[in-house]
Amino acid sequence: MLGSQQLVKAGSCCTLCPAGCELRQVKVGPDSWRIEPAETGSAGLCPRGSTLGELLAHRKRIFWPAKRQEGRLRQVGMDAALAALIEAAGDRGIIVFFDANLPCEQLARADACCRAWRGARLCLVMEPADRQMLLGAEASGADYLADDALADCDGFVVIGDAFAANPRCSRAVFERRAREPRTPIVAIDAACGTAAKFATHVVQVGAGMEFQALAAVAAAAGVDVELPGVPAAGDLASAQAAGRAVAQCERLGVLLAAEYGRSAAWRQIGYLAGRLATARGGGLACQTVGANVLAALRCSANFETINLADALADTSSVRVAVGCDVVGMLGGAGGEFLAAAAALPNQTTAAAEIVLPLALPVEVGGTVLFSGMQEAEVEPVVAPPAGVPTPAELIGRMAPAAGPSPPGSPSAVCLERLAAEVPGDAASSGPAAAPVLLFARQAAHAGSGALTGHGSWQQAARGPLDLRVSAADAEAMGVSNLAPARVAAEGRSVPVRIRVCQELADGIVVLPGGMPEARALAPCRIDSATRQVVASPVTAAIET
Amino acid sequence: MSEAMEKRVLVDLDRCIECGSCAAACYYSHANMPAVSFARAGWALLPMICRQCKAAACVDACPAEAMVRDEFGVVRRGLLRCIGCGSCARACPFGVIPNELGGTPVGCRSPEGLTGHQVAKCDLCEDRTASNPDAVPRCVAACPSGALQFADERAAEELHLQVVGGRSTADHLFKRR
């Protein structure tokens, strides 16, 4: 599909992040499997990948369609469930929220079905911050770097907690540092995540100010940014020191992870990061939630899809979610769903009237674009259980049930780089009053943790949620290390344990674990000016 | 003795990104009895893995003779003999025998819990490493950052690595740079 690049037979590999770790399947019972790392070597397999084997035969796996009656889900047949869906939709339009992190063939088939399905519109769902970041990266024209290629870089800028988003990308950084100990590693992360611990230069950045910090680093590195709305470098000493280090690099690797609830400026950050990397002879490594979201973004240019913000703003149509936990991803802001198809229960299935079974990502094979530049044909680990459809098969059954003409051949997939527009001014919501609540990523979970949260290790190893607080803030609040407390925002609260963190900036508190509950403290909203879904930093209250 | 068993799991603390890959790989492959746990030191979490002591205190402390050194030199816990008393966990000078995970006794979670309560113990993934000299324990294979290595203990100093366990911990371990 790329034309100039070879299609790689990748075997079975994890598609929950761009690393694409090999999955070695071990059958341990008649209907149970486990996923193991390779026997020799050290290819890596993070907790998300290790969990996938257990999920294949998880005790909560959804095998049968169910319809909510008197508040309880009752098992029905697939035909009855689809008939109930079509009947409930009536003459209203239908918006299909479809998981964007699926192989290209699944996306193309879904588009073809929705085109033939009268009144249906397709929305490819990916993390809103990831989408903005990728649009900016595409517009920048920067090269994309796979994990292995990062080892050839002689300097790194890490934005957000890229090491938690894709643990394997850290290996290349460390390999380079082992060869050349003076390799600059610049961390721009207001929550002081994993990468900040290994950085030679930590840019002191306020909540939601990553764009300004990156602009200051780029300016100090002598890069002509040419982007409207870029602030002056100012007197951010840490950024200037980082910029001087970056200026010495001949091949700069910029690792990007768009963190939830940080900023509305991820598009500008993606663009600026790409310009900075290109100016220093390097490239971008975008650590997205899901390996194939960039391909989905490129495909959507040729598909008839609608924006997530427009889909959420349309309250007259009924909503059907296929493979994605829209409600959990948006912090509970997804609204009502008529039907939700998923392999395991999530917040969207909990809100839906009709629940449908669906294949797991590891049960679906097809073409995946890893790291924005490596097109690979991924094989499923196992076939889906009998009666459990793949996402495209499910849409293929829904559409004829509505009575249209059968869909034609799948839509053409084009993975050529998008001709995205240069982003405009960065929307600024202004700094929130202290303390500002930020969210950090967990390497154990993909996205909001809807899928991997079912893993027994994830549940067993999970202790109380730690709320990281700076020493000065802890003293001002009158809380001590390990003290129990509650953190509240937007009318909701969760119990936490205070963890005093010397490295954290004053005025910022960080909730590093428990993304499924945590996102509810800062739900997404639709930005009326840009028509984008954003989650901005919120003011938190600490109750002891 | 197998050549592979001369090796130990070594950790480079300056590479550990606390992702938990080692613990998860161990957990899912050892019937939900994880032999890799984490210790917190200030801001950091450290993977704690058995160092297979030559004079193993856990073997001496076990009242049921469940802890034995097998023919490959690996200290193992006998599944049928372990009564889950936790003596080995308390005797271990390095605190690397996990007695609980997330506040819950791990022994209670074992589906193979023939005696109802057992203690998890690293066996260096003998099912892999005893037969294949190139194989590595699952925690090492899973480590995405390259922090864990399966190497001869004598090479640790040359590799600038610390043997896991028995290491003094202090705040700001990663501030060395």
**How far is residue A119's CA from residue A462's CA, in Å, rounded to a whole number?**
44
**How far is residue A150's CA from residue A423's CA, in Å, rounded to a whole number?**
26
- Asked if A44's CB is within 8 angstroms of B15's CB, the reply is no
Domain assignment of residue B74, given as a range: 3-176
Instruction: Find the range with the poorest average confidence among A471-475, B30-34, B41-45.
Output: B41-45
Q: Which two tokens stand for residue A235?
A: 């007197």
A440 and A296 fall within a common domain? no
- Asked if A502's CB is within 8 angstroms of B43's CB, the reply is yes
Total structural domains in chain A? 4
Q: Which of B15, B30, B156 is closest to B101 using CA atoms?
A: B30
- Asked if A21's CB is within 8 angstroms of B25's CB, the reply is no
Report the residue from A38, A168, A461 with minimal CB separation from B144. A168
A339 close to A320: Cβ distance less than 8 angstroms: yes
Domain assignment of residue A162, given as a range: 130-286
Rounded alpha-carbon distances, angstroms, from residue A70 to A87, A105, A353, B62:
18, 38, 10, 56
Q: Which two tokens stand for residue A4?
A: 């100039």
A94 and A166 fall within a common domain? no
- Asked if A194's CB is within 8 angstroms of B18's CB, the reply is yes
A347 or B53, higher pLDDT: A347
Report the residue from A38, A51, A174 with minimal CB separation from B146. A174
**CB-count burial class (<10 Å; 0-12, 13-18, 19+) for A225:** middle
Which residue's structure tokens are 């009144």?
A119
Q: Which residue of A has its CA nearest to B142?
A: A44
**How far is residue A54's CA from residue A194's CA, in Å, rounded to a whole number?**
27
A455 close to A54: Cβ distance less than 8 angstroms: yes
User: pLDDT of B121-149, one tens digit each?
Assistant: 888 888 888 888 889 999 999 999 998 88
**How far is residue A254's CA from residue A158's CA, in Å, rounded to a whole number?**
6
A436 close to A207: Cβ distance less than 8 angstroms: yes
A22 and A115 fall within a common domain? no
**How far is residue B143's CA from residue A381's CA, in Å, rounded to a whole number?**
21
pLDDT band per the 50, 70, 90 thresholds, residue B71? confident
A55 close to A44: Cβ distance less than 8 angstroms: no
Which of A39, A51, A462 best probes binding to B when mutated, by most B CB atoms within 10 angstroms? A39
User: Looking at residue A367, what is its pLDDT?
Assistant: 94
Report the residue from B25, B103, B104 with minimal CB separation from A37. B25
Question: Looking at beta carbons, which residues of chain A come within 8 Å of B128?
Answer: 39
Rounded alpha-carbon distances, angstroms, from residue B127 to A48, A367, B4:
23, 35, 12
B4 or A388, higher pLDDT: A388
Task: Compute the nearest-CA separation of A58 from chain B (Å).
Answer: 13
B53 or A127, higher pLDDT: A127
Q: What is the ipTM of this complex?
A: 0.90
Sign of the Cα pseudo-torsion (A371, A376, A377, A383, in order): negative
Task: Compute the nearest-CA separation of A170 from chain B (Å).
Answer: 5
A177 and A38 fall within a common domain? no
Task: Please tell me whether residue A194 adopts helix, strand or coil conformation.
Answer: helix
A135 and A281 fall within a common domain? yes
- Asked if B146's CB is within 8 angstroms of A171's CB, the reply is yes
The domain spanning residue B130 has which CATH number?
Answer: 3.30.70.20
**How far is residue A475's CA from residue A235's CA, in Å, rounded to a whole number?**
28
The amino acid at A320: V
pLDDT band per the 50, 70, 90 thresholds, residue B160? low
Residue spans of chain A under pLDDT 70: 1-10, 226-235, 402-408, 420, 425-433, 514
Residue that finishes a domain, picked among A268, A286, A304: A286
A18 and A85 fall within a common domain? no
* 3-state DSSP of A26-71: EEEECCEEEEECCCECCCCCCHHHHHHHHHHCCCCCCCCCEEEECC
Total structural domains in chain B? 1
User: Looking at residue A514, what is its pLDDT?
Assistant: 66
A171 close to A44: Cβ distance less than 8 angstroms: yes
Tell whether A366 is covered by a domain. yes
A248 and A357 fall within a common domain? no
Which residue's structure tokens are 């600038």?
B160
Residues 6+ apart with CB under 8 A from B155: none
Range among A236-245, B6-15, B79-88 rated most confident? A236-245
Mean pLDDT of chain B: 74
The amino acid at A170: S
Question: Looking at beta carbons, which residues of chain B come within 8 Å of A455?
Answer: 24
- Asked if B143's CB is within 8 angstroms of A44's CB, the reply is yes
A180 and A265 fall within a common domain? yes
Q: What angle do CA A337, A339, A342 make, to 5 degrees?
A: 110
A459 and A522 fall within a common domain? yes
